[in-house]
């Protein structure tokens, strides 16, 4: 899965105070990420340089103390099929990273981390679990191809 912006997004730490606006009594949590620039996260007050490509800016939110993104925002840039979708405030969202372990195991579990999934059509609990599973299977496929002798 060759999406450099996605790997950077999944490694990014969000909700830190903005270095420009966090100390001035202005709410300045860095919860925006530009997939075009692939830079550091920024706050709403630092958004102006991204106005010419605002459809490339994702707003990261929190649900259960973990980072999520709205389905409407991310599905324009990444195929979220097979990822468990949840709702907060009537908005469909997906988790960025693997969720905390749950004790409940059901008929459907995440293929990467084995977390319980409530939707039987889902295979992953988060974007990172899907990316890691697809990356791992691609690497295994490449390794298997290299070990198979090619006929001349």
Residues 93/101, Cβ–Cβ less than 8 Å: no
pLDDT at 1 over 70: no
Q: List the domain range (segments joined by +) for residue 65.
A: 4-136
Three-state SS at 63: strand
pLDDT at 142 over 50: no
User: Which tens digit of pLDDT belongs to each residue from 14-48?
Assistant: 999 998 886 665 667 999 999 999 999 999 989 99
- 142 part of a folded domain: no
Indicate the helix (H) or strand (E) that contains 44. Answer: none
pLDDT of residue 60: 97
- 147 part of a folded domain: no
pLDDT at 76 over 50: yes
Query: What does the chain come to in residues?
Result: 152
Secondary structure letter of residue 111 according to DSSP: T
pLDDT at 144 over 90: no
pLDDT at 67 over 90: yes
- 149 part of a folded domain: no
Number of domains in the chain: 1
pLDDT of residue 150: 37
pLDDT of residue 141: 44
Q: Mean pLDDT across the stretch 5-10? A: 96
pLDDT at 128 over 60: yes
- 144 part of a folded domain: no
User: Which tens digit of pLDDT belongs to each residue from 99-125?
Assistant: 877 666 668 899 999 899 999 999 999
- 114 part of a folded domain: yes
Q: Mean pLDDT across the stretch 67-85? A: 96
Residues 58/44, Cβ–Cβ less than 8 Å: no
- What does the block give as tokens for 40? 């550091």
User: Which tens digit of pLDDT belongs to each residue from 46-64?
Assistant: 999 999 998 999 999 999 8
- 62 part of a folded domain: yes
């Amino acid at each position: 899965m060759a999406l450099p912006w996605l790997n950077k997004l999944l490694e990014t730490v969000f909700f830190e105070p903005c270095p420009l606006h966090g100390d001035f009594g202005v709410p300045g949590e860095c919860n925006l990420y530009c997939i075009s620039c692939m830079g550091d996260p920024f706050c709403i007050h630092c958004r102006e340089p991204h106005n010419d490509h605002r459809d490339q800016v994702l707003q990261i939110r929190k649900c259960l103390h973990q980072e999520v993104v709205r389905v409407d925002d991310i599905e324009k840039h990444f195929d979220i099929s097979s990822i468990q979708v949840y709702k907060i405030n009537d908005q469909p969202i997906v988790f960025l990273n693997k969720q905390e372990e749950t004790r409940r195991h059901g008929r459907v579990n995440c293929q990467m981390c084995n977390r319980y999934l409530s939707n039987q059509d889902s295979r992953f609990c988060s974007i990172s679990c899907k990316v890691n599973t697809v990356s791992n299977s691609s690497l295994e496929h490449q390794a298997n191809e290299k070990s198979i002798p090619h006929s001349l």
